[in-house]
Amino acid sequence: MLLGGIDEAGRGSVIGPLVIAGVSLDKENIQILQGEGVLDSKSLTPRTREKLYPKIILRAKSIFVCKIKPKIIDSYVQLKKLNSLEVQFMTLVSDNLVVDKIIFDACDVNLDRFKRSILENMKNKSVKIYCFHKADQDNTAVAAASIIAKVTRDREISLLETRFGIRIGSGYPSDPITKTFLKDNVQNKAFKEHIRFTWAPVKLLANKKYQTKLL
């Protein structure tokens, strides 16, 4: 029996992609990864996540990852349908896993509504699904997916830093490095495709910059 886990990284970020990852594992490799220390990615350091990443790749029966660009995220946020966007890509991931059962880390506060949305969008109706909040804290397959998603996203941010020769930080609005980056670059066309302009901190900065130009 193959158990799948699906989770995301970067939902609350103001910079870079939202990454959704899925991992399927058999019982033996779930136990092995538990012994290796696979836990919810948020409870691990970046160095530990990087060490675990290849071990998950080695043990997984299948892996599928989607990277959603800021422009697409903004279009859904404007419609107040960010959860709908996540459901679309989570089901895309689920349909590309070799799996018998899947556990989803639900993005919707209403678990029943989230599960109905998943079932409506999934093509493979034979797969049994389970939806929980904070599933990455309780299930190794979901925790493995969270690590794959987080490492993938962190690498995307690192690539941007290398490409432009500038520090971006984590990409989250609470990060002082990210705050400085936004303050200096919110109107820089080179970064336009990498910033989520529907996020409140970005809109506030953009408006201030625009008003300053008019003075």
Domains of the chain: 3-160 (3.30.420.10), 163-208 (1.10.10)
DSSP code at position 15: B
- Between CA 51 and CA 112 the distance in angstroms is 36
Q: Are 24 and 41 contacting, i.e. CB atoms less than 8 angstroms apart?
A: no
pLDDT by residue for the chain (215 residues), tens only, comes to 999 999 999 999 999 999 999 999 999 999 999 999 999 999 999 999 999 999 999 999 999 999 999 999 999 999 999 999 999 999 999 999 999 999 999 999 999 999 999 999 999 889 999 999 999 998 999 999 999 999 999 999 999 999 999 999 999 999 999 999 999 999 899 999 999 999 998 988 877 654 445 33
Reduced to 3 states (helix: H, G, I; strand: E, B; else coil), residue 90 is helix
Q: Of 66, 135, 149, nearest to 105 (Cα)?
A: 135
Distances (CA, A) of 174 to 4, 14, 180, 185, 196: 32, 10, 11, 17, 15
pLDDT of 162-171, one tens digit each? Answer: 999 999 999 9
Report the side by side order of strands in the sheet with 128-132: 62-68, 18-25, 3-9, 101-105, 128-132
Task: Work out whether strand 101-105 and strand 128-132 pair parallel, antiparallel, or are unpaired.
Answer: parallel
